[in-house]
């Protein structure tokens, strides 16, 4: 079923597939590397075994990903660097072997797994390749979810061929990152792999490689503005910025559009459970989008977005399926606002809603208002327990310069823009807003702050 991708690699031939650490690799070199892995590594890996790949993007990790899929293996990409996290993920995914990439060479380690989960057994019996991903686990134990990788990969078949230079920004073990990788390689474009993910280095890559498409997150895009990285480098090649993984504040999108007036902004949407959807933004200035995907259905139940797709997971390996209905709908937890023309807007997560005396507050709404203030560089809003109202609204802010009366200024600015119960009762001045390695803000985290 998946041979088409390898045929494409041969057809694309001497086109550049990957740029990494100042080295270029053609599609033909990628194909030959896959053949080399099949001969030297895969010969010692049984079909259908569960194999972990330890490491982020590289020419070698991408080649072994495809070689394992061809061998009908169930693949577990792990980018964690902490050995205890790696150990936990290996155990939770029932790995038979681990492949580490050391100095561009493959080191294969055996592992003795516990009795296989029934979903893995079913996939092995089907003789399909698989993919196991983990949720971010910022508030709970990471969920191990398993995809039929054949189905996921085949959703990229027959895409129109294009010659683009694109950064793979989201990580190797993230559904958004893998979506970028598979999309680039299925259409014959060129993938630029960053050695690290800081604003200056990403913008330098855009300049040096004439990158046309940057997939990112609102948090990272704001870091570019805060660091003034977009003015340090020539980013004139950039034609499109796609953003997702978290809610985009309207005020931030306006600032971004002012900084990148010639760039098209496209909101993307997807989940680890259902895959990435095809979307269309109402405009570059709008946070409303339309889901346009023949392989995905959606409906809105009590303002929550529910999805059902052909690429959704087979199940969780270490958790119940409470987030799925009996008839297969995935309850995303994303709250939406709708327009009559079919466009929807993600306005927050239901688990992040702040309950102030029975009144509901969406942190993203408050953040968007505060980010309009000229004194504020970044902010995050979350709830804190309150004896009288149950919860109260708290705001952490990063200031552009020292200001002694920022709480008064914020309350005055918000007064005619937000209901009184939505206005923060406490403001913390912080050095930075904490975010995950997926560049998503962490609400209510431990902060270096001064309460005022």
Q: Give me the half-sphere count of Cα atoms (radius 13 Å) on the Cβ side of residue 54.
A: 22
Rounded CA separation 429/413 (Å): 17
pLDDT for the residue 444: 63
pLDDT for the residue 450: 33
Residues of the chain short of pLDDT 50, as ranges, are: 445-452
For β-strands 190-193 and 16-20, DSSP reports them as: parallel
Q: Strand, coil or helix: what is 73?
A: coil
pLDDT for the residue 126: 95
Note the pLDDT tens digit of each residue in 348-407. 999 999 999 999 999 999 999 999 999 999 999 999 999 999 999 999 999 998 888 999
**DSSP letter string, 254-280:** HHHHHHSTTSEEEE-EEETTTEEEPEE
pLDDT for the residue 90: 96
User: What is the extent of the structural domain holding 26?
Assistant: 3-154
Query: What CATH number does residue 63 fall under?
Result: 3.40.50.980
Does some domain include residue 168?
Answer: no
Q: Strand, coil or helix: what is 243?
A: strand
Note the pLDDT tens digit of each residue in 9-67. 999 999 999 999 999 999 999 999 999 999 998 888 999 999 999 999 999 999 999 99
Does some domain include residue 261?
Answer: no
pTM: 0.90
Does some domain include residue 83?
Answer: yes
Q: Is the dihedral of CA 437, 244, 23, 98 positive or negative?
A: positive
Select from 139, 154, 169 the last residue of a domain. 154
Q: Which residue matches tokens 């953003």? A: 243
Residue pair 266/276 in contact (Cβ under 8 Å)? The answer is: no
Closest to 247 (Cα-Cα) out of 337, 328, 313: 337
Rounded CA separation 180/173 (Å): 12
pLDDT for the residue 449: 33
Does some domain include residue 36?
Answer: yes
Question: Which residues touch 387 (CB under 8 Å, ≥6 apart)?
Answer: none
Query: What CATH number does residue 389 fall under?
Result: 3.30.300.30
Does some domain include residue 345?
Answer: no
Does some domain include residue 196?
Answer: no
Select from 134, 154, 174 the last residue of a domain. 154
Residue pair 443/433 in contact (Cβ under 8 Å)? The answer is: no
pLDDT for the residue 452: 30
- Considering its fold, how many domains does the chain have in total? 2
pLDDT for the residue 438: 77
pLDDT for the residue 113: 83
Q: At 178, give phi and psi (nearest 5°).
A: -65, -35
Select from 113, 138, 154 the last residue of a domain. 154
pLDDT for the residue 5: 96
Q: Give me the half-sphere count of Cα atoms (radius 13 Å) on the Cβ side of residue 117.
A: 21
Q: At 275, give phi and psi (nearest 5°).
A: 90, -175
Closest to 267 (Cα-Cα) out of 293, 241, 249, 298: 241
Does some domain include residue 188?
Answer: no
Does some domain include residue 408?
Answer: yes
């Amino acid at each position: 079923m998946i041979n088409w991708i390898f045929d494409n690699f041969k057809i694309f031939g001497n086109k550049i597939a990957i740029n990494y650490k100042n080295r270029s690799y053609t599609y033909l070199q990628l194909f030959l590397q896959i053949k080399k892995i099949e001969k030297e590594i895969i010969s010692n890996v049984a079909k259908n075994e569960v194999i972990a790949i330890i490491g982020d993007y590289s020419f070698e990790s991408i080649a072994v990903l495809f070689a394992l899929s061809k061998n009908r293996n169930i693949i577990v990409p792990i980018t964690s660097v902490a050995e205890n996290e790696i150990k936990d993920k290996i155990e939770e995914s029932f790995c038979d072997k681990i492949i580490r990439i050391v100095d561009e060479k493959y080191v294969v380690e055996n592992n003795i797994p516990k009795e296989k989960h029934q979903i893995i057994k079913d996939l092995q019996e089907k003789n399909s390749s698989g993919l196991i991903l983990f949720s971010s686990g910022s508030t709970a134990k990471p969920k191990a979810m398993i995809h039929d990788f054949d189905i996921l990969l085949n959703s990229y078949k027959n895409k129109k061929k294009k010659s683009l230079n694109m950064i793979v920004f989201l990580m190797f073990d993230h559904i958004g990152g893998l979506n970028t990788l598979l999309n680039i390689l299925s259409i014959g474009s060129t993938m630029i792999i960053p050695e690290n993910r800081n604003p200056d280095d990403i913008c330098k890559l855009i300049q040096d490689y004439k990158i046309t498409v940057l997939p990112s997150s609102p948090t990272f895009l704001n870091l570019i503005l805060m660091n003034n990285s977009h003015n340090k480098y020539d980013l004139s090649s950039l034609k499109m910025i796609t953003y997702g993984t978290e809610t985009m504040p309207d005020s931030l999108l306006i600032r971004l559009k002012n900084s990148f007036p010639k760039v098209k902004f496209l909101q993307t949407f997807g989940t680890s459970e259902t895959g990435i959807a095809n979307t269309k933004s109402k405009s570059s200035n709008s946070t409303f989008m339309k889901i346009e995907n023949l392989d995905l259905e959606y409906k809105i139940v009590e303002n929550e977005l529910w999805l059902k797709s052909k690429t959704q997971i087979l199940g969780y390996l270490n958790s119940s399926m409470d987030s799925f209905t009996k008839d297969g709908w995935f309850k995303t937890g994303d709250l939406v606002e709708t327009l009559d023309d079919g466009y929807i807007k993600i306005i927050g997560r239901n688990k992040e809603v702040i309950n102030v005396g029975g009144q509901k507050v969406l942190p993203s709404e408050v953040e968007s208002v505060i980010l309009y203030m000229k004194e504020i560089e970044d902010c995050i809003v979350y709830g804190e327990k309150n004896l009288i109202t149950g919860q109260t609204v708290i705001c952490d802010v990063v200031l552009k310069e020292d200001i002694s009366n920022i709480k008064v200024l914020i309350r005055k600015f918000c007064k005619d823009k937000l209901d009184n119960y939505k206005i923060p009762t406490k403001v913390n001045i912080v050095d930075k807003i904490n975010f995950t390695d997926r560049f998503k803000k962490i609400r209510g985290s431990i902060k270096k702050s001064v309460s005022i």
